[in-house]
Chain A
Amino acid sequence: AAGVIQSPRHLIKEKRETATLKCYPIPRHDTVYWYQQGPGQDPQFLISFYEKMQSDKGSIPDRFSAQQFSDYHSELNMSSLELGDSALYFCASSSRHSEAFFGQGTRLTVV
């Protein structure tokens, strides 16, 4: 069965650079969620999109932005990267009234 696909799997950036993470949801899933997981931490909700519109917002820094495109894939754009942005970034997708499934994540390292 198709799963949530995230790319890239690993990314190394320097401070103050920009990074773009991509998420491809399970087919027919209309909602995408982004999470950030620091070392030894639980995943923290960043933002979600339903039918290409932002539906909820969590602890997402102003330096980050995201959008969902017409094919339902989503991109998380992160600018002015800081060392503290180093983390695993997960995307999940769901349809209404079905459980969310997570991708394998993107490991971002800021040096």
Chain B
Amino acid sequence: QQQVKQSPQSLIVQKGGIPIINCAYENTAFDYFPWYQQFPGKGPALLIAIRPDVSEKKEGRFTISFNKSAKQFSLHIMDSQPGDSATYFCAASGGPGGYQKVTFGTGTKLQVIP
């Protein structure tokens, strides 16, 4: 059972476009929602993260929107660039005693066309 559901599986946008990736979770014990960016052959790199007490967080061109009641969150990439082409994973973590095991979504392969 996929605890963190992510869509779409792949996404192609023109340079300057705003790709949006959506995620939903089931476990209300999760209290930390990071997004990871992964390039081929590399480890997942933390991009931006949010906690449930905040509805939106911006860092540079990346914005997370969070809807706690719907148990959904999304990533927006403003003014996307070819260098943003990568696989993006939403994730969730949190548990008793501050346990931080990361549960990943299934990933979205983003391609930004020049």
Contact of B32 among A90, A99, A103 (CB under 8 A): A99
Q: Does B93 contact A (CB under 8 A)?
A: yes
**Residues of B at under 8 Å CB distance from A?**
32, 34, 36, 41-46, 49, 89, 93, 97-107
| Listed residue (B42, B99, B105) with the most chain A CB atoms within 10 angstroms of its CB | B99
Render A22-66 as a binary contact track against B, CB cut-off 8 A, 1 for contact: 000000000101000000011101001010000110000000000
A98 at interface, CB cutoff 8 A:
yes
Residues from chain A with a CB closer than 8 A to the CB of B97 are 96
Identify B106's interface contact among A42, A50, A99, A104, CB under 8 A. Answer: A42
Least distance between B54 CB and chain A CB atoms (Å): 15
Identify which of A31, A97, A99, A107 contacts B34 (C-beta below 8 A): A99
Compute the total of residue contacts between A and B using a CB distance below 8 Å.
60
Could you jot down 23 A-B contacts, CB within 8 Å? A4-B43, A33-B100, A42-B89, A42-B107, A43-B102, A45-B101, A50-B99, A56-B101, A92-B102, A96-B100, A97-B98, A98-B100, A99-B32, A99-B46, A99-B100, A100-B93, A100-B100, A100-B102, A101-B46, A102-B36, A102-B45, A102-B46, A105-B41
**In the complex, chain B residues whose CB is within 8 Å of the CB of A74:** none
* Set of chain A residues within 8 Å of B46, measured between Cβ atoms: 99, 101-102
* Residues of chain A at the chain B interface (Cβ within 8 Å): 4, 31, 33, 41-43, 45, 48, 50, 55-56, 88, 90, 92, 94, 96-105, 107
Which residues on B sit within 8 Å (CB–CB) of A98? 100
Which B residue sits closest to A6, measured CB to CB? B43
